[in-house]
Structure 1
Amino acid sequence: MSKQIVIDPITRIEGHLRIECAVENGQVQDARSIGTMWRGIETILKGKDPREAWLIVQRICGVCTTVHAMASVRAVENALDLEIPLNAQYIRNMIVGAHCLADNIIHFYILSAVDWVDIASAALKADPRSAAALAQKLSPWKDNSAQEFKETQDKLKKLIESGQLGPFASGYWGHPAMQLDPDVNLIAAVHYFQALEYQRKINKVVTILGSKTPHIQNLAVGGVANPINLDSPATLTMERLYYIKTLIDEIQDFVQQVYLVDVATIGAMYPEWCSYGKGNGNYLSVPEMPTDGKGMRFAMPGGYIKGGDLSSFRPISTSQDPYFSDNVKESVKHSYYAGDWTRHPYVEETEPQFNDKGGDKYSWVKSPSFLNEPAEVGPVASVLAMNAARHAPTIRHSRWMLEKMAAISGNRQELDILPSTMGRHIARSIRAAVVQESLAEQWQGLITNISSGDYTTFNPPHFPEGEQRGVGIHEAPRGTLSHWIVIENGKIRNYQAVVPSTWLACPRGTNDEPGYYERCLVGNPVADPEKPLEILRTIHSFDPCMACAVHLLTPEGGPLSTIKVM
């Protein structure tokens, strides 16, 4: 007999996601992904000035702020065929790069590592000296000292003895699916606390260039609001730019000597999780880090892979590539909206129609498709696409990761482990290393361009009469993000945001095919239905952000069990 498991909410930082699973014989047989809140931003934007949209849409979420702002200004610029100054492009690229690194570090250490790391074991069973020695063998990281490890272990012991575990409360400590050695658990715990400091450091780049974070203030349709005047301390000066360079250098050491090494170590020690959590093999990403004023050239490629076959890779070359803009659709067949349609975002409607009486509709999330099929977006899609495009930094970091895992486990690994629960963490760390390198290149590009005498950061937009349509694309930390705008006589007539967590957390689609979370949960092991750690592992590997994806919450309904999620 199958047992019904309900986890609501399942996310650690941003809720509104309910997962329902039918479990039989220790495996998930069926699943439903349910977004429980309506977003409504599309309705708010109607009739607004397109130049204001980016300020509003980044309030979709307090986590994914810069990404929505960036996609929004790109959408308006695309509609107007507006070129932006090269300086503005470099500044934007540094903002999104720094935001991505902070986001990736937070996701692994703060939101997901505790699905794999037993904090109680690290606190009570580990030997700080042997753990530090192991960490030093794995990496030259400067803060892998025995003293650092002892201080962290003492801090964890005090938390456990106090009975107030703070961020570690409600964890499934001692769960049979936890299988790391106590010393490895302590290594991860030490780096958990260090990660807090390094994500703060790289976020300073966003603050300096974006005026604040979250919710940056420096963007404008046509460029950025950062004046460059090397003689004025009130503007973007060389002093500020070289301080940014020190932050980029510091995060490089953390990414390469800590983040990549920790992911390789944990991935090597959970080999079975490189086979759970697979989807249908369709992978969609878009290019990122534009290196010209019109989004025709990019430092990081993107594209589409069908059926898991890398030889099928079809690049998405520019921000105006019709291969992408013509083939994205969304369905509301199983979503709480009026009608039963599958439409292109330009002609979509967002008319809420909630029904708590059951039936085919069960989520506030729409169901996107590319070429009429579901697709996985995110770091796996991005890293596979960049490998298929023969992107040298991605190939180098991918090879390093696979060789490091093989050295730890003794088993050879290939890229085919990436489309999996553990593989998403592996791919995310690889992409973080690539982004960090590109971030340094964007900084150098800005310095070189300023040195040539070019201080321009803004080109004013002009809104003609009639209708204009545009799409803004961005390969965000969670995957492919696109904002779609229809402008009529200088005002917004229609606006749609198709976000990564919509692609992944969606309900069943046009042909009743499962959404991506629903598909990837089937076959997952569940050792203890009262403590469904394994379900958390797979869902958290996608880094869901539901404020972005959902388009009201009903207090009705009776879950069979309530699961606390740390």
Structure 2
Amino acid sequence: MTKKITIDPVTRIEGHLRIDCEIDNGKVSNAWSSGQMWRGIEIILQGRDPRDAWAYTQRICGVCTTVHAVASVRAVEDALKMEVPLNAQYIRNMIIGAHNIFDHMVHFYQLSALDWVDIVSATTADVEATAALGQRLSDWKGNSVQEIRATQDRLKKFISSGQLGIFASGYWGHPAMKLSPEVNLLAVTHYFQALTCQRKVNQIVAILGSKTPHIQNLVVGGVTNPLNPDSPANLTIEKLFHIKTVIDEVGDFIRQAMLTDVAAIGAFYADWTTYGAGVTNYLAVPDMPMDTKGTVYTLPGGYIPDGDVSRFTPLVTQHEKTLYDGVKESIKHAWYNGNWDRSPFEGETVPNYTGFDPEKKYSWVKAPTYLGKPAQVGPLAHVLTMYLAGHATTQKYVDQTLKTVSAIAGTTVGIDALHSTIGRIAARVIRSAVLHETLTIQWQALIDNIGKGDLNTFNPPVFPRGEQRGIGFHEASRGMLSHWVIIENGKIRNYQAVVPSTWNAGPRNDQGALGPYEASLVGNPVADPELPLEVLRTIHSFDPCIACAIHLVDGKKTPLAKVKVL
């Protein structure tokens, strides 16, 4: 017997997402992913100065704040064939690295872990046994008896008050929860400690970007950070060394808490390495340029078709012709006028809502393809492509994590296990460790370049008459992001953003192929259709950001709120 369930809205994500599933014999047999908001930023940008686009697009989301700013300035710089000063590249790269680490921490602990960790069970754990477990796994200073007991006492107060607060809506006691009380308590302890680490790493973004969220230091041609080692009003050596201190502190937590937590959870939920693969065409772009022209990158990218590592194709720069020509978007199943499959340069964003119809149009999200096929983007795609590209740091942390999982599970777990729901989560944590080491590289490169006497951070743009086209790529927290701009006589004629959650949350394309969310759900177990925890596990593993994929605009301009600035 087929049972259809609808989860609307999906929570612990950014934005409004609806998931429909058909359940047959305890497994998902079909699925539909529906974005329930419309994005109008493309229309807002038409006719505006290209130098202002980054400030507008950054407001697409309050979570993915830096990423759209970076992609936007890169798009305009690409259109103008500009070079970016080395100092500006390093500063941008540090902002990118710090923001991505912050984002990955939030996803792992606050958004995803609660699908696997039973908060209520943690109150029954033996504190001393939990501390002993943590100390066997790593040397993390936060695994002390005192820290763990304080966490458990905090949880007990929540429960005794009758209000679980931030833990109120979990599936506690669900039969799919497998962790022991001690593992649950250790994970919850790190959940709270992660909040402090998130605040610390975000200081890097705030110092370099002037504020966070929504940095203020980007500009087409570089950054606005004046470099003067002696002036307290500028980016001084003192501020830079404070950043280095923060980098070191956060690194301890990533290596000694996050990596061990994801290995432990992966080992206990080894069966989830067989669920959730879905679309295995993996796409990632190189990022963190180390020269002014964007030809040398710290982090490689590439494309893996059908999960076949023997067919891996490296993407050496962000200016590859296959990237420019290979990306298209379909609106066959999206609420827009027409039924086309086009390059984003020719894309339109004309809304046409016709109601939810799973056979016709059922989402505001478009359906991107690369070389004619859907592609999964995100940390899993990036980690796999970096691993195959021979990136030593990535190989080190992938091998180390798999070794730890194997030791805990008592059986050998190979890299193929990453093609899964749990592998997608593990890849985010592995990528955090890779980004942390990269942050140190960028910091040292900036210090060395300043030491050579180079204080330049900006090259002024020049807008010629006629038409210019540019694409700004960025390997963002949730995967490959691209902004596409057509400039005509110094003004924006067309602008399109193809974001990670468009790639992953998109509906069926014009060939009827399922999007990555949809495909990843097929075959997933569902123990209780009324409590579809397993569906949420796989969807959350992508870290959805539907506000990036689509936006809502009130055409009647109805006031929603008033804010008084004191």
Band the TM-score falls in, shorter-chain normalisation: over 0.9
Q: Match for residue 436 of structure 1?
A: 436
Q: Distance in 2 between matches of 1:158 and 1:278?
A: 39
Using the TM superposition, give the Cα deviation of residue 281 of structure 1 relative to its aligned residue in structure 2, in angstroms: 1.8
- 1:114 equivalent to 2:125? Answer no
Using the TM superposition, give the Cα deviation of residue 11 of structure 1 relative to its aligned residue in structure 2, in angstroms: 3.1
Instruction: Name the aligned partner's letter for residue 24 of structure 2.
Output: E
Within-5 A mapping of 1:313-462: 313-356=312-355, 358=357, 360-462=360-462
Instruction: Name the aligned partner's letter for residue 442 of structure 1.
Output: Q
Partner secondary structure for residue 119 of structure 1: coil
Partner secondary structure for residue 74 of structure 2: helix
Within-5 A mapping of 1:23-38: 23-38=23-38
Q: Match for residue 65 of structure 1?
A: 65
Partner secondary structure for residue 214 of structure 1: coil
Partner secondary structure for residue 360 of structure 2: coil
Partner secondary structure for residue 482 of structure 2: strand
Q: Match for residue 520 of structure 1?
A: 520
- Give the TM-score normalised by structure 1: 0.97
Using the TM superposition, give the Cα deviation of residue 307 of structure 1 relative to its aligned residue in structure 2, in angstroms: 1.2
Q: Match for residue 157 of structure 2?
A: 158
Cα deviations across residues 82-109 of structure 1 (Å, max 9, x unaligned)? Answer: 0010000000000000000000000000
Q: Match for residue 218 of structure 1?
A: 217
**Which is worse superposed, 163-172 or 449-458?**
163-172
Q: Distance in 2 between matches of 1:320 and 1:465?
A: 23
Q: Distance in 1 between matches of 2:480 and 2:11?
A: 20
- Give the TM-score normalised by structure 2: 0.97
Q: Distance in 1 between matches of 2:536 and 2:205?
A: 30
- 1:282 equivalent to 2:303? Answer no
Using the TM superposition, give the Cα deviation of residue 316 of structure 1 relative to its aligned residue in structure 2, in angstroms: 1.3
Within-5 A mapping of 1:10-409: 10-123=10-123, 125-356=124-355, 358=357, 360-409=360-409
Is the CA contact 1:274–1:418 (under 8 Å) kept in the aligned structure 2? Answer: yes
Cα deviations across residues 493-530 of structure 1 (Å, max 9, x unaligned)? Answer: 00000000000101110101111111110110111111
Q: Distance in 2 between matches of 1:239 and 1:131?
A: 40
Matched pairs, number:
553
Q: Distance in 2 between matches of 1:510 and 1:291?
A: 39
Q: Distance in 2 between matches of 1:157 and 1:433?
A: 33
Instruction: Name the aligned partner's letter for residue 233 of structure 2.
Output: A
- The answer for unaligned runs of 5 or more in structure 1 is 555-566
Instruction: Name the aligned partner's letter for residue 106 of structure 2.
Output: I
Instruction: Name the aligned partner's letter for residue 257 of structure 1.
Output: Q
Instruction: Name the aligned partner's letter for residue 373 of structure 1.
Output: K
Partner secondary structure for residue 143 of structure 2: coil
Is the CA contact 1:365–1:551 (under 8 Å) kept in the aligned structure 2? Answer: no
Instruction: Name the aligned partner's letter for residue 75 of structure 1.
Output: A
Identity in percent: 62
Q: Match for residue 485 of structure 1?
A: 485
Instruction: Name the aligned partner's letter for residue 98 of structure 1.
Output: A
Cα deviations across residues 323-352 of structure 1 (Å, max 9, x unaligned)? Answer: 111100000000000000000011111111
Instruction: Name the aligned partner's letter for residue 298 of structure 2.
Output: A
Cα deviations across residues 167-202 of structure 1 (Å, max 9, x unaligned)? Answer: 101111000000001000000000000000001100
Is the CA contact 1:11–1:540 (under 8 Å) kept in the aligned structure 2? Answer: no
Using the TM superposition, give the Cα deviation of residue 15 of structure 1 relative to its aligned residue in structure 2, in angstroms: 2.6
Is the CA contact 2:281–2:304 (under 8 Å) kept in the aligned structure 1? Answer: yes
Is the CA contact 2:287–2:297 (under 8 Å) kept in the aligned structure 1? Answer: yes
Q: Distance in 1 between matches of 2:76 and 2:9?
A: 35
Instruction: Name the aligned partner's letter for residue 179 of structure 1.
Output: K
Q: Distance in 2 between matches of 1:355 and 1:209?
A: 45
Change (3 A) 1:292 1:133: same
Change (3 A) 1:133 1:76: same
Partner secondary structure for residue 326 of structure 1: helix
Q: Distance in 1 between matches of 2:99 and 2:196?
A: 14
Q: Distance in 2 between matches of 1:348 and 1:425?
A: 32
- The answer for unaligned runs of 5 or more in structure 2 is 555-566
Is the CA contact 1:36–1:553 (under 8 Å) kept in the aligned structure 2? Answer: no
**Which is worse superposed, 22-31 or 59-68?**
22-31
Partner secondary structure for residue 158 of structure 2: helix
State the Cα RMSD in Å: 1.1
Is the CA contact 1:311–1:388 (under 8 Å) kept in the aligned structure 2? Answer: no
Is the CA contact 1:331–1:342 (under 8 Å) kept in the aligned structure 2? Answer: yes
**Which is worse superposed, 40-49 or 409-418?**
409-418
Partner secondary structure for residue 302 of structure 2: strand
Using the TM superposition, give the Cα deviation of residue 310 of structure 1 relative to its aligned residue in structure 2, in angstroms: 1.1
Q: Distance in 1 between matches of 2:55 and 2:423?
A: 35
Moved beyond 4 Å, runs of 4+: 551-554
Using the TM superposition, give the Cα deviation of residue 552 of structure 1 relative to its aligned residue in structure 2, in angstroms: 5.3
Is the CA contact 1:21–1:30 (under 8 Å) kept in the aligned structure 2? Answer: yes
Partner secondary structure for residue 33 of structure 1: strand
Is the CA contact 2:13–2:544 (under 8 Å) kept in the aligned structure 1? Answer: no
Q: Distance in 1 between matches of 2:241 and 2:203?
A: 13
Instruction: Name the aligned partner's letter for residue 330 of structure 1.
Output: E
Q: Distance in 2 between matches of 1:332 and 1:492?
A: 23
Q: Distance in 2 between matches of 1:4 and 1:309?
A: 33
Is the CA contact 2:13–2:540 (under 8 Å) kept in the aligned structure 1? Answer: no
Using the TM superposition, give the Cα deviation of residue 551 of structure 1 relative to its aligned residue in structure 2, in angstroms: 5.1
Q: Distance in 1 between matches of 2:25 and 2:553?
A: 32
Instruction: Name the aligned partner's letter for residue 356 of structure 1.
Output: G
Using the TM superposition, give the Cα deviation of residue 231 of structure 1 relative to its aligned residue in structure 2, in angstroms: 1.4
Using the TM superposition, give the Cα deviation of residue 319 of structure 1 relative to its aligned residue in structure 2, in angstroms: 2.0
Q: Distance in 2 between matches of 1:553 and 1:335?
A: 17
Cα deviations across residues 442-466 of structure 1 (Å, max 9, x unaligned)? Answer: 0000000000000000000000000
Using the TM superposition, give the Cα deviation of residue 280 of structure 1 relative to its aligned residue in structure 2, in angstroms: 3.1
Using the TM superposition, give the Cα deviation of residue 395 of structure 1 relative to its aligned residue in structure 2, in angstroms: 0.7
